[in-house]
Amino acid sequence: MPLIMGMSVLLSCQFLGELVARGLILPVPGPVIGMVILLVGLMIRGKVPDSLRMTGEGLLRYLTLLFVPAGVGLMVHVELIGLDLWPILVTLVVSTAVTLGVTGWLLERLNRRQGGRP
């Protein structure tokens, strides 16, 4: 029964996220908004319920299976990827650099705000 409750909470948050994303015509996927809804709910509650923890751990145990379709897609469309290899590589490098820069900048600002050493 705890697994059903935990899965119900996860699916309800995803459903609410889909409703918000489609209702407000946001360019953000519904599951992402659902994760934010779940995060806010957990922050208000102050702890993770055991049923949700059990469900999450069970899903994480099989997370590697979710990468199988992506790997198959890479193998099937290797010619298409080869045609656009340079734009893909440039995008990966630039997005990684921007992510690292923003993360470092944000960490530095938060550290200063907390009164830590520079």
Residues belonging to the chain: 118
Angstrom distance (rounded) from CA 17 to CA 33: 5
97: phi then psi, degrees, rounded to nearest 5: -65, -40
Write out residues in the chain with pLDDT < 50, as ranges: none
pTM of the model: 0.60
Amino acid at 81: I
Q: What is the pLDDT of residues 56-89, one digit of tens each?
A: 998 889 888 888 888 898 899 999 999 999 999 9
In the chain, where the domains are located: 1-61, 68-118
First to last CA, the chain: 50
pLDDT of residue 117: 61
> Residue 32 has what DSSP assignment?
H
pLDDT of residue 85: 93
> Hey, what are 56's tokens?
């999450």
